[in-house]
């Protein structure tokens, strides 16, 4: 059990479960920042609709701004997995810790090619915090469990998207994971590893968490700067304030006894995705992939201030009204 919890990338579930989903999120940005592609392989186990899938969002910014998104269904038996070394396969598409190899298409898009990953930037772990969920990772039947696999890594390789050859060499990648029954009814998710400082990477999720016949607002946030990690979470007594939220901007403050962080996020262009409800992939959500961030961090122990600006940020806002 601990081996799985400590390694969120491996398949945590069983294809015999019901009301269950599990999905991996692979985000790739080209070196020239003109192309972004997110690939989300996964499984949906719901009554008589057991199947595997690959979702995608593709953004092209070179001449004409193009955004395409879709959901490609596969039979459940097209999903294959291996724990050590990690591998999942859906149809002709293979995902490991070091590569993704794609051969997928629907009516809107055809994607073929292989990308290799450089060294992954993993988060710090311990017995009490075996993954980004902290001690909540040991609590069974959480509605949604999150995993951070790589905050930041380099890419090498080429993808052909509708016969357009895109070179991702020296681009940037990010990998995370979700599993459970449903996405939260309310959540804010922000991710960016495309800052002026090439070492900076940021992930934050604020969500309504059902727990013991009640619910609470849960926080996980991880920031890596020049090889130093800052963790903000409900389980380390961090406090979050959503200062303002509109359709185009989000301002958040997060603080614990080690540091204070302020985030200003701007939204620009959304792509459609499908999210799980009780294991069934049937809830339409929108994900921003061209978001902009201003990140301010004050390290209380070092008495130092860090400010950086990020682009091509991923942002999802679900269930929140303007504040």
pLDDT tens readout for residues 172-215: 999 999 999 999 999 999 999 999 999 999 999 999 998 878 88
What residue ranges in 118-186 does DSSP mark as E strands?
A: 144-161, 164-167, 172-180
pLDDT of residue 323: 59
pLDDT interval class at 279 (50, 70, 90): confident
- Residue 194 CB contacts under 8 Å (≥ 6 apart), including other chains: 29, 33, 172, 310, 311, 312, 313
Neighbours of 254 (CB within 10 A): 22
Beta-bridged to residue 317, according to DSSP, are: 188
Q: What is the tens place of the pLDDT at every residue in 54-63?
A: 999 999 998 7
210 to 207, 249, 284: CA distances (angstroms) = 10, 27, 21
Backbone φ and ψ for 5, nearest 5 degrees, come out as -60, -35
pLDDT interval class at 64 (50, 70, 90): confident
């Amino acid at each position: 059990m601990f081996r799985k919890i400590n390694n969120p990338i491996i398949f945590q579930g069983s294809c015999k479960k019901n009301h269950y989903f599990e999905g991996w999120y692979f985000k790739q940005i080209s070196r020239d920042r003109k192309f972004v592609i997110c690939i989300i392989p996964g499984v949906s186990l719901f009554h008589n609709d057991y199947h595997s899938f690959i979702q995608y969002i593709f953004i092209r910014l070179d001449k004409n701004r193009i955004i395409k998104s879709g959901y490609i269904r596969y039979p459940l038996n097209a999903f294959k997995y291996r724990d050590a070394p990690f591998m999942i396969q859906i149809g002709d598409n293979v995902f490991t810790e070091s590569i993704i190899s794609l051969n997928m298409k629907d009516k809107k898009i055809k994607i073929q090619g292989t990308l290799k990953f450089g060294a992954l930037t993993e988060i710090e772990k311990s017995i009490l915090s075996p993954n980004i969920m902290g001690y909540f990772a040991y609590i069974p039947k959480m509605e949604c469990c999150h995993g951070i696999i790589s905050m930041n890594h380099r890419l090498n390789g080429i993808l052909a998207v509708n016969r357009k050859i895109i070179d991702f060499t020296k681009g940037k990648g990010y990998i995370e994971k979700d599993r459970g029954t449903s996405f939260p009814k309310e959540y804010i998710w922000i991710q960016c590893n495309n800052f002026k400082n090439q070492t900076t990477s940021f992930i934050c999720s604020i969500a309504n968490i059902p727990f013991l016949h009640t619910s609470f607002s849960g926080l996980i946030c991880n920031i890596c700067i020049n090889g130093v990690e800052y963790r903000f979470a409900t389980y380390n007594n961090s406090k979050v304030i959503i200062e303002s939220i509109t359709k185009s901007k989000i301002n958040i403050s997060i603080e614990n006894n080690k540091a204070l962080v302020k985030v200003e996020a701007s939204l620009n262009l959304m792509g459609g995705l499908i999210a799980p409800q009780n294991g069934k992939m049937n809830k339409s959500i929108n994900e921003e992939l061209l978001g902009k961030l201003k990140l301010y961090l004050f390290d209380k122990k070092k008495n130092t201030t860090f400010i950086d600006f990020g682009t091509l940020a991923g942002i999802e806002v679900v269930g929140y009204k303007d504040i």
